[in-house]
Structure 1
């Protein structure tokens, strides 16, 4: 299958930035060559002075001064180009930001038109009422059913464990008889607790 992705669109702004960068590169290369030339001319001037050729040294020095003035102008042009490129790129970013902001504002406005404040408030109130009602039911169940029965079960289990400890210290014949009695009591207690819990739940839900 072929590549279906589209090529990036080159805009007029992209072309302008490219031209500015190319011009800046040319000036930077010129600046580098001129600096190297100035260093070479400085060495020539010193050599001529050592040879007592002040006239020749003066000619090269004048040429050097002129090139330095050109170099200063080139440096300013490079700086101006850099500022211009940065300004254009920033404006493009700013443009995209404003475009995104406009689109986001349009979507937000559309969503606000679809949402009715009154309907939202009614929905929130209904949800809060349901949560409050459920919390009330949970509180009733935890206090009236779980609370007392849970404490009763703890007391009964504690008593059973205590009885088992006591039984271990008794003769085997007595142990057997007591264990049978404890088992019967446990079964009756569990049945009674289950019936009472069921009755309380039915009473609450009635």
Structure 2
């Protein structure tokens, strides 16, 4: 399992304090993939730009897709651009992959819904691994979960992440905040438009 899959399973926990939006989760999943690629030597950072590394190619299919999506010639992509490009509909892709692997089961009546079908994590070694990582407050998983609001308070453990991972996590936080700003702007615009049609 990868950090992204552990994050997806963690986000589905019905005990989570806040439901996670699919857009927020998609951005964080892209960040989790980049962190795993950096850890494997398949990617690195040059300032705020993502630089493709060398082999080995990740065994995980979605992580291998992420590695293949890296820009290999200059100018290299900025972290925020990577998050938005790779993150497009990424939560739905992870749901489909986990369902295909038998890691998710249909579930009725849950408040968390990813896509049209409500699902829950199956009782598998992958779920237990993700739960153990969360219970141990593993710094990378905790930092990414904080970025999407799974917890109400941001963890101070991010100082243990290392320079490159800290930069990626900060990028995820910024992207999630930007997405929320877009949502709020659209909400205001829609309300103003409705008021015009409603009249005095």
For the aligned pair, the TM-score class normalised by the smaller chain equals under 0.3
Higher RCO (CA < 8 A, seq sep 6+) = 2
Which of 1 and 2 has greater Rg? 1
Between structures 1 and 2, the one with greater helix share: 1
TM-score (norm 1): 0.24
TM-score (norm 2): 0.25
Between structures 1 and 2, the one with greater strand share: 2
